[in-house]
Amino acid sequence: MNSQTIQVRNPATLEKITELAVASRGEVAGAVERGRQAQTLWQQSHFSERARLLYRLRDLLLDEGDKLGDILTAETGRPRAEVYGNELFYLCSAIGTWAKKAEEYLRPTRLKPHFPLVKAKKVISSYSPRGVIGIISPWNFPLTMTLGEALPALMAGNAVIIKPSELTPLSAIFGAELAVKAGFPEHLLQVVVGYGDTGAALVDHADMIAFTGSVETGKRVMKQAAERLIPVSLELGGKDPMIVLKDADLDRAAGACVWGALMNSGQICTSIERVYVEAPVYQKFVDQVVEKVRAIRQGQSDAEVDLGSLTSEAQLKSIAAQVDEAVAHGAKALTGGKRNPTLPGFYYQPTVLVDVDHSMAIMTEETFGPVIPIMKVKDAEEALQMANDSRYGLSSSLFARDKALAEQFAERLQSGAVCINDSLVNFIIPDAPMGGRKDSGFGYRHGAEGIRKFCHQKTIVIDRFGLKEEFPWYPATKKKEHQVRHLLNLLCHSGWRHKLRALKGLMTS
């Protein structure tokens, strides 16, 4: 019997919320087995029935909005308005998307062979569920990254086991309880609570792992999954750049920058974490950003505030170390630059840094905090070069009035998504695929790719004419050999003389 427990604390007040038992390896294995049994029946349900239950779940999420707000603000330290405007907003949008589009995305497709010699075959590509999907999720969006990731897996006919972060497990537990209340079969969606060992046990038993988190942990998950040859999707870190060209609407750019960098205290994989501004508009842009950041209200969720606390003390120390290192090497903090001394929890002041460069970790390593480092560049090409000078490639933002030029630059940015004259918005469009490049991982959430990853893809080839035998079948003969050579020349060779000789060869063979 595993007696280890997890203490869940409010990072804004440091008060203990509750204590939960850690799931042992045996308990994880048991959860997966129960999930398998539930899944065998679930996969036989029609998309319309699955959609009906999703809509029922959405109604319950809205009905239980107050309780949902209580749980999320308590375990994350975020403002209540942010919980509704981001987590609940996203889930409502995602449920509508998957309920309406899952059947379309997974409908069997008739394929038409290109090569004439196989046109007589009927070819179908179809999708079937993998079985039990393990979701290992981070703490920054404890409902979006758990229940939100489970939605397409469930709509595809799978069972789901969620291992939430040990810092924020309560939202996932509440989401699973609402799913049962909505009518989803028992054990189809389960939550196992624990640390890294619990996640490792899930990798040892599930049929696929969807992991969101750090690069280092993602590599360990992938290595372990390779031992069983199960698929993984990895959404890892980001160091997302923002480029401001000299013709940009600076009012909009500054507002998008502050929002895109500070929302959820900067604890988002797609947060704006470094900004490159063309020299002619650099100072004006910096002044506008500083003015907006100084107006940010930071505090506890029961007050009317814009910014809450960080989720962990470890994250607070990591952010402080990056800022301190940058300042020690010549950067200047125009706002913030230290822990907020007036609040009891893990609060770091919203910070604007200038005089930064790529010798500093603040410009090259993921910060995951409320810090905006801004760098002056001489022109658009240098901005593009600096933006691509990163081991990450998750998302990016580009501001320019010349939209044609902006789209050209967007194609050259080495990231999975680009927002032009906007920030963060790509994540809240579940119709559009989202994934990373480089160390930001691989695999997609959202769109057709975001549900098909939870499926086996199968090709079915059907003989249409019922001949007694096919041309390539045994026995092999010289005549067949010559006929194949002539056919290939006739069908594939670009020279007309070769085609003419091939046709004559077929007529005489």
The residues carrying an active-site annotation are 235, 269
How big is the CA angle at 20 (ends 19 and 24), to the nearest 5 degrees? 145
How big is the CA angle at 238 (ends 251 and 236), to the nearest 5 degrees? 145
Does an H or E element contain 156, and which?
Answer: none
Q: How far is the C-alpha of 331 from the C-alpha of 325, rounded, in Å? A: 9
| Mode of pairing for the β-strands spanning 121-129 and 132-136 | unpaired
- Phi and psi at 17, nearest 5°, equal -95, -50
What the block records as the tokens of 205 is: 């038993």
DSSP character at residue 124:
E
Contact in structure between 35 and 132 (CB atoms under 8 Å): yes
Q: How far is the C-alpha of 353 from the C-alpha of 456, rounded, in Å? A: 48
HSE-CB for 371 with a 13 A CA cutoff = 35
CA 206 to chain CA mean position, Å: 20
Task: Spell out the SS3 assignment of 331-380.
Answer: CEEEECCCECCCCCCCCECCEEEECCCCCCHHHHCCCCCCEEEEEEECCH
Contact in structure between 310 and 319 (CB atoms under 8 Å): yes
Q: Residue-wise over 89-119: b if at least 16 C-beta within 10 A, else e?
A: ebbebbbebbbebbeebbeeeeeeeeeeeee
DSSP character at residue 433:
-
Contact in structure between 393 and 371 (CB atoms under 8 Å): no
Contact in structure between 40 and 98 (CB atoms under 8 Å): no
Contact in structure between 75 and 130 (CB atoms under 8 Å): no
Residue count of the chain: 509
Q: How far is the C-alpha of 307 from the C-alpha of 261, rounded, in Å? A: 11
What the block records as the tokens of 33 is: 């087995």
Q: Residue 163's closest CA among 198, 129, 197?
A: 198
Q: Residue 306's closest CA among 480, 80, 16, 125?
A: 80
Residues whose CB falls within 8 Å of the CB of residue 59, separated by 6 or more in sequence, listed in order: 182
